[in-house]
Amino acid sequence: MGPGDLDRVLSSISLFRSKEVQFGAETRGDAGAWQISNDLSLLLTIDFFAPVVDDPFDYGWIAATNAMSDVWAMGGSPFAALNIVGFPDNQPRSTLQRILLGGAAACREAKVSILGGHTVRDEEPKYGLAVIGKVHPRRMITNAGARPGDVLILTKPIGTGLITTGIKRGMAPPASAHSAVRTMKRLNRSASETMLRFSPHACTDVTGFGLLGHLHQMIHASGCGARIHVSKIPSLPGAVELLAKNCFPGGTGANLSFLKGKIDWKTDRKHDEILLADPQTSGGLLIAARPVRSEQLLASLRRAGDRSSRIIGEVVRSRPGRIEVLP
Ligand code: CO
Ligand code: CO
């Protein structure tokens, strides 16, 4: 199900809205926000999915990291979480234990306490977290604040959908699989803390709708357009080779049909669209920030460990949500 289908389903459901709701489902932000007081809002988010890599510990770590990422994207700090688990009867308990150990380890690194969880029987394993974080109500970073002239910074390489599909089909070289796992396991915590020191205008994290899908959501919500440069977009080693072998995930098609008519292609579209719409797991932060001091922001992100961080384009005055893709 693509972002368009999901929008249609969600918009047909009316929700009770208490006055404390600062951001709810209707804003399609990264996390919901509930204002407790003048200086405290809670951020709530949930994410879980089936295994994306072979090793159960890595899978658990990646799923937990991915779930916490929405809180970091909004400039908050996650502090507590609940496990969500689906597990088949016919798989060894030790596998479940390794998944949960991976999730617990990621949460320990993030200083997030797991308070409990819920497990159901399922045909294939599913794992993730419901996460709660805190943020100052007026210092929250949303996906709606980008302004024309801002630079767009991406903190992790793309291509995790291509490579995890390659892993499932036995087509991903071990070195590619290794760098994809390392990228997906990386917490967006330090990237978030670093960007906050530079007062960014907008941020979102790149996940299932791909770079183009999440960029579209951000600039659409901000009422502007964007221009991105394919040559500046970092991708994981081996991702382009898998693309050339037609090894890409099913979700790419749904992402591309959602993007139809929203992108102005000035490049080899057939090739680039598969990479730029590639559904990401535990992807990086996509930050819109004023160009002044953007080089310092970039240097700080890299120094803090997000070495693939790049300026990939800029926010422009245009029809809201329009993206121009240049070589
Ligand atoms: Co998100
Ligand atoms: Co999410």
**pLDDT tens track for 171-187:** 999 999 999 999 999 99
Q: Which ligand is nearest to the CA of 48?
A: 2
Q: For tokens 């990422």, name the residue.
A: 69
Let me know: does 91 contact 51? Beta carbons within 8 Å: no
pLDDT of 8: 85
- pLDDT, mean of residues 258-279: 95
* Residue 232 DSSP class: G
Ligand 1 centre and the CA of 123: distance in Å?
27
Q: Which ligand is nearest to the CA of 72?
A: 1
- State how far the Cα of 62 lies from the Cα of 267, in Å rounded to an integer: 33
Ligand 2 centre and the CA of 30: distance in Å?
6
pLDDT of 5: 79
Q: Which ligand is nearest to the CA of 46?
A: 2
- State how far the Cα of 139 lies from the Cα of 131, in Å rounded to an integer: 19
Q: For tokens 């559904």, name the residue.
A: 279
pLDDT at 1 over 70: no
**pLDDT tens track for 194-241:** 999 999 999 999 999 999 999 999 999 999 999 999 999 999 999 999
pLDDT at 294 over 70: yes
- Average pLDDT in the chain: 96
Kindly report which listed range (7-21, 190-204, 212-226, 246-260) carries the lowest average pLDDT score: 7-21
- State how far the Cα of 66 lies from the Cα of 264, in Å rounded to an integer: 30
Ligand 2 centre and the CA of 116: distance in Å?
20
Q: State the pLDDT confidence band at 118, using cuts at 50, 70 and 90.
A: very high
Q: Which ligand is nearest to the CA of 74?
A: 1
Let me know: does 73 contact 192? Beta carbons within 8 Å: yes
Q: Which ligand is nearest to the CA of 45?
A: 2
pTM for the predicted model, two decimal places = 0.96
pLDDT of 2: 67
Ion ligand 2 — residues with CB < 5 Å: 47, 70
Q: Which ligand is nearest to the CA of 143?
A: 1
pLDDT at 3 over 90: no
Q: Percent of the chain having pLDDT more than 70? A: 99
Ligand 2 centre and the CA of 49: distance in Å?
11
Ligand 1 centre and the CA of 91: distance in Å?
31
pLDDT of 27: 72
- State how far the Cα of 89 lies from the Cα of 87, in Å rounded to an integer: 7
Ligand 1 centre and the CA of 143: distance in Å?
9
Give the closest residue to 217 by CA, choosing from 202, 231, 200: 202
Ligand 2 centre and the CA of 60: distance in Å?
16
Ligand 1 centre and the CA of 39: distance in Å?
23
pLDDT of 300: 98
Ligand 1 centre and the CA of 74: distance in Å?
9
Query: Is residue 76 classed exposed, middle or buried when 0-12, 13-18 and 19+ CB atoms within 10 A define those classes?
Result: buried
